[in-house]
Structure 1
Amino acid sequence: MTEAKIASKAAPVRFEGVSKLFGKDVIAVDAIDLHVEAGTLVTLLGPSGCGKTTTLRMIAGLEMASSGRILIGERDVTKLPATDRDVSMVFQSYALFPHMSVVENVMYGLTFSGFGKEEARARAQQGLELIGLNGFDKRLPSELSGGQQQRVAVARALVLEPQVLLFDEPLSNLDAKLRRQVREDIRAIQQDLGLTVIYVTHDQEEALAVSDQIVVMRNAAIAQIGTPRQLYDAPNDRFVADFIGEANLIGCQIVAVDGEMATIEIEGYRHHLPARGLGAGAATLAIRPSRIVLGASEGVAARIIKATYVGVRMEYTLEGAFGKVFAVQDNVDEPLEVGTDLRMSFAEKGPVLLPQED
């Protein structure tokens, strides 16, 4: 990261009972409450059609809320047009002008906002230095890689010194290796400048990697809000467990509860874990693939029906009376063979109880 700095006017964002309807019947966002603290990166995560992009566009002023209030800082911006909200947005398509040089693209918003040409150029050069493209100012977008084009789009947004910076699926056009690099760049810039960033993605790994908080959305509403670790280790329900990373969902019986701890049973195998407010009876166990122990002396009977070598680990699919589960192991030198019968147990920490759903 360079020494170039752009002033931060980071502001919090608050949604108070905000809804968005398209026509009379289509509810895109349903009465959500949300508080994004100043200087944090919050990701809106969820499947297509869950309302995350509409929520982002309401912050930007590209969609108007049907009801409720949106505040940026202490200012009610619910009815303000996009030009009066002091936010910048980085689009999925980058939206660079192909006939303009890199520096002219970065300058565009500044000149449109009334800055003189010399000051706009100086700020644009500062923005390019910040995102590691110093010396690229005279190139055309077509002469840049996808990752470099994305950085230009970020610089163009940053030089406007917005109170809130918005990202709409910013890495979806990049290959896997480049996505990892650019997301690290975005996170580093956000932390260095103390920016308020709201970031939309459907990629769970991306959300886990960059976020201070993740807002998981489902069916136009918020399913759960938490830090990446909170959502991964303690999901509220089956949807969040299965959407945040991979999770195996197995039916179990809670046979005893002692204070905050429960004893569960699956085919005679017992395991102790936090009860999470549940009482005796049927429940669902969510287990991450890395938390399954294969070849234990005690456990649930299972058979390996698929084994895949992926370089840094082995991936296994197992089948038993409980159904099928997916497990991973770091031991690639002594792989287990398809058809192997074994006992499967669970790591001491990691499995999570969820309510039984109808």
Structure 2
Amino acid sequence: MTETTIASKAAPVRFEGVSKVFGKDVVAVDNINLHVEAGKLVTLLGPSGCGKTTTLRMIAGLEMATSGRILIGDRDVTKLPATDRDVSMVFQSYALFPHMSVLENVMYGLTFSGFDKHESRSRAVHGLDLVGLKGFDNRLPSELSGGQQQRVAVARALVLEPQVLLFDEPLSNLDAKLRRQVREDIRAIQQDLGLTVVYVTHDQEEALAVSDEIVVMRNAAIAQIGSPRKLYDAPVDRFVADFIGEANLINCTILSVEGGLAKIEIEGYQHSLPSRDLTPGPATLAVRPSRILIGTDAGIPAKVAKATYVGVRMEYTLAGAFGQVFAVQDDVDDPLEIGSQVKMAFAERGPVLLPEG
């Protein structure tokens, strides 16, 4: 098994009007269209019950679509069982056999795929090397850290040389520091080998960190598809704005629109930004916590309602006639006092008007 062999097998995935209904009327996925390019990592992101895991399981063949078509490469796999789809899945629980060594765990799928013992061992050793576990062959899963167990699960999936590699909440059992390390490992492996990966998570930061493209799902449907930066900077509605990276939603008034720029006003404070085809009148502004400027000479009157030190930054809740907003500042040496009166303004780039609807 070589890196070029794995990369050359990467295939696109396409959903054409796919729905999944459980029982008579429980719609888990509602008429979605989706294209995952070969060699890209695409994340399905959304709250519990939005349909992301069901979508992943339909790619794997663990659930069958009620209607529509699913294609992997040029092949229609809609009706094919999981064993005939040439995909591998890394589960949330890792699903390692506790009585088998690391090497035996990685070899397990190969022996059932018709490879002889010598070839299976050779592929398994190479797979462990790819995920940074060279020399761990004879250890038991219980002798590994959570991150190392996750890498074993990835190696076991990789050695089967799948056209598509699927991850179902792969980091949810790890602590915060280890999650960051393992997500970097997964991203590096995917990019090095050119794998097609579909990745499910409910963690927004995780999705932003690993993805080429993010599919935000809500109520069994797709709310928005785009690159991490596009979704962060130009959310299509309130749900996406609030779900991706936390946003303050503030009522404002659009005073005028000229040349694609809108001039907005909040309590006498004015700011210009892209109009996004909106017209003068009431509107909603989405502002990230890091884009709120505190202590400016001109701005919106506010009071510091809460102040929290989290090590690398200060977190503030600001209250005013506009309601409450959450803001962050890097200055931890001279924090604002709770109850102090301040002026609040916005960074030149970052605030975004939300389209209606």
User: TM-score of the superposition, structure 2-length normalised?
Assistant: 0.98
SS in 2 for 1:355: coil
- Structure 1 stretches of 5 or more lacking a match? none
Give distance in 2, aligned partners of 1:159 and 1:4. 10
Rate the CA distance shift 1:5–1:145 in 2: closer, same or farther, 3 A. farther
Give distance in 1, aligned partners of 2:355 and 2:61. 39
Distance apart, 1:36 and its partner CA: 0.3
Corresponding residue of 1:349: 349
Identical amino acids, percent of aligned pairs = 81
- Code of the aligned partner of 1:83: T
Corresponding residue of 2:259: 259
Aligned pairs, number: 355
Distance apart, 1:355 and its partner CA: 3.2
Q: Does 1:247 align with 2:247?
A: yes
Q: Does 1:95 align with 2:90?
A: no
Whether the 8 Å contact between 1:301 and 1:341 is mirrored in structure 2 is yes
Distance apart, 1:4 and its partner CA: 7.0
1:129-168 aligned within 5 A? 129-168=129-168
Q: Which runs of 4+ in 1 moved over 6 A?
A: none
Corresponding residue of 2:29: 29
Whether the 8 Å contact between 1:6 and 1:158 is mirrored in structure 2 is no
Distance apart, 1:268 and its partner CA: 1.2
Distance apart, 1:259 and its partner CA: 2.0
Corresponding residue of 1:122: 122
1:96-245 aligned within 5 A? 96-245=96-245
- Code of the aligned partner of 1:154: V
Rate the CA distance shift 1:356–1:296 in 2: closer, same or farther, 3 A. farther
Distance apart, 1:5 and its partner CA: 6.8
SS in 1 for 2:331: coil
Distance apart, 1:40 and its partner CA: 0.2
SS in 1 for 2:135: coil
- Code of the aligned partner of 2:255: V
- Code of the aligned partner of 2:339: G
Distance apart, 1:7 and its partner CA: 2.4
Give distance in 2, aligned partners of 1:344 and 1:197. 42
Q: Does 1:65 align with 2:61?
A: no
Distance apart, 1:216 and its partner CA: 0.2
SS in 2 for 1:135: coil
- Code of the aligned partner of 2:198: I
Corresponding residue of 1:298: 298
Corresponding residue of 1:74: 74
Distance apart, 1:6 and its partner CA: 5.7
- Structure 2 stretches of 5 or more lacking a match? none
SS in 1 for 2:6: coil
Corresponding residue of 1:280: 280
SS in 2 for 1:30: strand
Corresponding residue of 2:6: 7
Distance apart, 1:342 and its partner CA: 1.2
- Code of the aligned partner of 2:86: D
User: TM-score of the superposition, structure 1-length normalised?
Assistant: 0.98
